[in-house]
Amino acid sequence: MSIKLPQKLMLLGSGELGKEFAIAAQRLGNYVIAVDRYANAPAMQVADAYEVISMLSADDLEAVVTKYKPDIIIPEIEAIRTEKLIEFEQRGITVIPTAAATNYTMNRDRIRELAHQKLGIRTAKYGYATTLEELIAISDEIGFANVVKPVMSSSGKGQSVVQDDSEVERAWNYAIANSRGDSQKVIVEEFINFEIEITLLTIKQWNTPTIFCSPIGHRQERGDYQESWQPAEISEDKILKAQEIAIKVTDALGGAGIFGVEFFITKDEVIFSELSPRPHDTGMVTLISQNLNEFELHLRAILGLPIPHIELLGASASAVILASEKSDSIAFSGVADALSEKDVDIRLFGKPNAHPYRRMGVALAKGANVQEAREKATRAASKITII
Ligand SMILES: Nc1ncnc2c1ncn2[C@@H]1O[C@H](COP(=O)(O)OP(=O)(O)OP(=O)(O)O)[C@@H](O)[C@H]1O
Ligand SMILES: NCC(=O)N[C@@H]1O[C@H](COP(=O)([O-])[O-])[C@@H](O)[C@H]1O
Ligand SMILES: [Mg+2]
């Protein structure tokens, strides 16, 4: 595919990942329309145009697509009326990576079925429930500890680790209260006691073979990422195994773009967890670690532009800057202090309001080794306070 520039790109979802993507797209002169459910979202601040709609509404999606006639639709979150994307694709608009892929990954049950049932890939043992009674029954079958998550959610929203049957009801209520979209279904997964978990950024291209970034290690709390680092300390044979699985799943999904493929690495196994058909939050480390970051790679893959070489520039890390309370007026202190160390950078996303644990920024660092990079990133993040 050889594409003419500029292209008119419509981002569905305009958070921090969309913002960096919009910047990358505009550096090559493209026209970006940023869409999200609230005004002043990060990507809207750097886009050519923006719209506030419910992305779960087919009518709202139709209205913005009719208004702007984008060449390419680029989903940035899961919670989108993906059936409507299938219709847009049939009308000749490119959907990234494909409309079917966004439909598969919108709900945890669909991608699980594809990876485990259809492709035979090793995952954690799992089951589903649509009522508390079903959850009690399936939890006994899966055993404890297990992890309960709404089938539609991200960044750990509504997710809990359940240690024994006394905690099942609380997990049910928490999952249902925090489910995105209109689903009342939860997935229960066997708790995997992993040594490390990784994101393998996988770049699927229109006409050239799939390529990979060096694996990214990460640490999560409450199901949400706290820090990530690159390279992850895993053996070459496990990297090859993860690459083989990533190729299988992304080939089944088709299209082009970057995917964040998540794995649990145990002593003996590489276990597929889930994937994002778009840049990954833990991949923000590539804003400092690589010659081309994950957003530039996504753009090049989408536009069919060459990626001659991906270079890891050295051990690097990212650490998140989280809000601690609810607020509608955001200001940061400690920025100068955070930036005082060599090879440290930060991004403040410009989200218009905060609530506990909302990700408001990220600190990035390079170091002599992964440990030093992680320490520097965490130190920088800890110096920034939201006031
Ligand atoms: N079965 C499991 N065993 C052990 N830990 C788990 C399991 N499932 C999830 N976790 C932990 O919770 C984190 C978040 O889970 P998961 O990736 O499924 O949720 P998510 O809401 O889609 O997150 P994101 O959108 O940020 O990728 C995982 O990265 C891992 O640390
Ligand atoms: N794990 C998925 C992820 O990190 N997605 C990123 O977070 C934004 C939502 O943030 P918000 O909840 O603070 O609005 C999304 O728009 C995307 O950029
Ligand atoms: Mg995840």
Whole-angstrom CA distances from 375 to 114, 340, 380 are 38, 14, 9
Query: Is the beta carbon of 181 within 6 A of some atom in ligand 1?
Result: no
pLDDT score at 2: 62
Rounded to the nearest whole angstrom, what is the distance from the C-alpha of residue 4 to the centroid of ligand 2? 30
Q: Which of 163, 190, 217 is the last residue of a domain?
A: 190
pLDDT tens per residue across span 280-293? 999 999 999 999 99
Q: What's the CA-to-centroid distance between 223 and ligand 1, angstroms?
A: 5
Q: What mean pLDDT comes out for the span 45-72?
A: 98
Per residue in 115-134, pLDDT (tens digit) is 999 999 999 999 999 999 99
Within-domain flag for 139: yes
Catalytic residue among 48, 89, 274, 372: 274
344: in domain: yes
State the chain's mean pLDDT as an integer.
Answer: 97
Position 117 in a domain = no
At residue 181, the pLDDT reads 67
Instruction: Tell me the average pLDDT across 21-40.
Output: 98
Instruction: Strand 146-150: give its sheet, edge to edge.
Output: 126-129, 186-190, 146-150, 160-162
Residues 217 and 89 occupy one common structural domain: no
* CB-based contact 216:288 (threshold 8 Å): no
Which of these three, 47, 80, 95, is where a domain ends? 95
Residues 240 and 354 in one domain: yes
The number of the ligand 2 atom at minimal distance from the alpha carbon of 16 is 18
1 occurs within a structural domain: no
Judge if 260 and 213 occupy the same domain.
Answer: yes
Q: Percentage of the chain surpassing pLDDT 90?
A: 95
Residue 303 lies in a domain: yes
195 is in an annotated binding site: no
**Catalytically annotated residue among 48, 62, 122, 156:** 156
**Spatial separation of the C-alpha atoms in residues 184 and 97, rounded to whole Å:** 27
Q: Please tell me which residue in 105, 154, 202, 318 is annotated as part of the active site.
A: 154
Strand, coil or helix: 152: coil
pLDDT in tens, 147-177: 999 999 988 999 999 999 999 999 999 999 9
Collapsed DSSP state (helix, strand, coil) of residue 117: helix
Report the CATH number at residue 175.
3.30.1490.20
CATH number for position 289: 3.30.470.20
What's the ipTM? 0.98
- H-helix segments, 216-351: 236-253, 286-289, 294-303, 335-338
Rounded to the nearest whole angstrom, what is the distance from the C-alpha of residue 77 to the centroid of ligand 2?
7
Question: 260 and 171 share a domain?
Answer: no
CATH number at residue 30: 3.40.50.20
Assess whether 48 and 138 both reside in one domain.
no
For residue 275, pLDDT over 60 is answered with: yes
Q: Which of 147, 227, 261 is the best mutation target for the ligand 1 pocket, counting ligand atoms within 8 Å of the beta carbon and taking the most?
A: 147
Asked whether residue 106 is domain-assigned, the answer is no
273 and 220 in a common domain? yes
Q: What is the mean pLDDT of residues 4-16?
A: 98
Rounded average pLDDT over 98-108: 95
Known catalytic residue: 359? yes
- Sequence-distant (≥ 6) Cβ neighbours of residue 377 within 8 angstroms: 227, 229, 317, 318, 319, 344, 363, 364, 365
CA of 258 to the centre of ligand 2 (A): 17
Same domain (yes/no): 89, 158: no
Work out how many domains the chain is built from and give that number. 3
Residues with CB under 6 A from ligand 2: 13, 15-18, 76-77, 154-155, 281, 351, 358-359
Indicate if 183 and 209 belong to the same structural domain. Answer: no
Q: Model confidence at 3, in pLDDT bands (50, 70, 90)?
A: confident
Residues 179 and 71 in one domain: no
CA distance 12 to 75: 5
Same domain, 178 and 273: no
Distance (angstroms) between ligand 1 centre and the Cα of 148 equals: 10
Question: Quick one: pLDDT band at residue 100, thresholds 50, 70, 90?
Answer: very high
- Give the pLDDT band of residue 300 (cuts 50, 70, 90): very high
Reading the block at residue 297, the tokens are 């790679």
Instruction: Decide if 262 is catalytic.
Output: yes
Q: Residue 173 is part of which domain span?
A: 125-190
Look at residue 257 and tell me whether its pLDDT is greater than 80. Answer: yes
Are both 288 and 139 inside the same structural domain? no
In ligand 1, the atom with minimum distance to the C-alpha of 224 is 26
Tell whether 109 is covered by a domain. no
Do 231 and 324 lie in one domain? The reply is yes
pLDDT tens per residue, range 203-233: 999 999 999 999 999 999 999 999 999 999 9
Domain annotation covers residue 283: yes
Residue 6 beta carbon below 6 angstroms from any ligand 1 atom: no
Does residue 1 carry a pLDDT above 60?
no
The arithmetic mean of pLDDT across residues 40-44, rounded, is 98
- Reported as a single tens digit per residue, the pLDDT across 15-29 is 999 999 999 999 999
For residue 201, say whether it is annotated as part of any ligand binding site: no
Q: Which of 190, 209, 241 is the last residue of a domain?
A: 190
- Rounded Cα–Cα distance for residues 172 and 168 (Å): 6
Q: Is the pLDDT of residue 183 over 80?
A: no
Band of pLDDT at residue 30, cut at 50, 70 and 90: very high
Nearest CA to ligand 2 atom 9: 15
180-206: b (≥16 Cβ within 10 Å) or e: bbebebbbbbbbbebebbbbbbbbbbe
What average pLDDT does range 35-59 have in this prediction? Answer: 98
Put simply, whether the predicted model's pTM sits higher than 0.95 gets the answer: yes
- 307: Cβ–Cβ under 8 A, 6 or more apart, which residues? 203, 205, 211, 292, 297, 300, 301
